[in-house]
Amino acid sequence: MECMDIEVKMGDIALAKNADNLAASGIGSCVAIALYDPKLKIGALAHAMLHHSPTPGHGSPDTKYIDTAIDEMLKKMLTYGAKKQDLEAKFVGGANMFSILDSDIGKQNVLSAKEKLKKEGIKIVGECVGGSIGRSVEFCIATGIVTVKTKF
Amino acid sequence: MGKLQEINKHAALNASRALSKLINRPVDVQVSKAGVKKVEELAPIIGPEEIVAGIYLPVTGDIKGAALLIFSEETAFTLCDLLVKREPGTTRRLSGLDRSALKEVGNIVSGNYLAVFSNMLQVKTIEHVPSLSFDMFGAIVSQIITNFAQKAEKALVIEIEFIFKPVTLKGYFLVLFGLEQIDVVLGPLENHRKLIKGSG
């Protein structure tokens, strides 16, 4: 079976199963959130930019926000038969790339991801966050392993 | 001549003079392309994992936004060789002096551009102290985009060339404006939405 590498762009989410891999490149203050069902070997990855949607529930779901992105990933995974209690979450990113930037978007993003996952009752099994470095993420669906790459 | 072309021409000329004075040898700054892009279209300009030097300058005043000057890793190293007067090909990592030199180039390009821009469009702009990040393009640009994601929709993207004969170095200069100022600032420039060939 041919496997695919799916690049998840900023503001997007994607779901994959079996031998496919999900990836998100060049993550700064954004947060990549990986959800994995080890029993079914399905996973979803979000590359979210902002902590929470200003008007949740209105219009089409905007996956650039962490809360909406997690909701949408859960919706898709549950459709494939996943159960919330089986899911494992890992998240990566939340850096601040410019010291003078009067911004704690990265920190807020990490906090928001943690809160949302806790609220949904999803087990957090790993994180690689903060600092001032860019990161890339590869999520192997066959094993559930999330590899974080930095350039330095 | 369109307004954007006129701004580019004056800003490039002023930046050439300032940069030549800084390094005591002739440098010709030229605008090769300029146009207005949607913020979400900025990320594909360079590969997201490609290492770049990003010099960020916050802009306040009548318009609030950000100026970001981007050089690829190799261009940044070559630029440092020239700025700090090293043998060509010697810079392989950025020292404190290199970082300062690159920030100064950011100051010069951005300062001259915004000064001409303010004059021609009759808006007040104040630029602030530059900050440098040497990392993945996606990580750098997404942080700036995210900071403006709820406030900006469009950015002015200017491709610039620094000609230190016989070397030509290419960089990108991005100017992002707050949403409330888009009409004021970009209105007169919208006629030039498509990429315009250099100001010559």
Please name the residue of chain B whose CA is at the shortest distance from the CA of residue A109.
B146
Candidates A3, A30, A128, A140; catalytic one: A30
Would you call A128 a catalytic residue per the annotation?
no
| φ, ψ at B112 (rounded to 5°) | -65, -40
Provide the shortest C-alpha distance from residue A123 to chain B (in Å).
27
Chain A residue numbers with beta carbons less than 8 Å from the beta carbon of B65 are none
The pLDDT of residue B200: 34
| Cα three-residue angle A132-A133-A136, rounded to 5 degrees | 145
Lowest mean pLDDT among A66-80, A123-137, B22-36, B152-166: B152-166
CB contact under 8 Å between B131 and A151, yes or no, is no
CB A98, CB B131: distance < 8 Å: yes
Chain A residue numbers with beta carbons less than 8 Å from the beta carbon of B58 are 100-101
Distance CA A133, CA A26 (A): 10
Distance CA A25, CA A109 (A): 17
Provide the shortest C-alpha distance from residue B3 to chain A (in Å).
31
Residue B167 predicted with pLDDT over 80: yes
CB contact under 8 Å between B135 and A136, yes or no, is no
Chain A residue numbers with beta carbons less than 8 Å from the beta carbon of B47 are 25
pLDDT in tens, B54-111: 999 988 888 778 889 999 999 999 999 999 999 999 999 999 999 999 999 999 999 9
- So what's the ipTM on this one? 0.89
pLDDT in tens, A30-55: 999 999 999 999 999 999 998 877 76
- Alpha carbon B21 to its chain centroid, in Å, reads 19
Q: What domains are there in chain A, each with its CATH number?
A: 5-151 (3.30.1330.200)
Chain A residue numbers with beta carbons less than 8 Å from the beta carbon of B67 are none
Please name the residue of chain A whose CA is at the shortest distance from the CA of residue B40.
A10
Q: Which of A10, A64, A68 should be substituted to probe chain B, the one whose Cβ sees the most B Cβ atoms within 10 Å?
A: A10
Residue A57 predicted with pLDDT over 60: no
- Chains A, B: CB contacts within 8 A come to 97
Burial of B142 (0-12, 13-18, 19+ CB in 10 A): buried
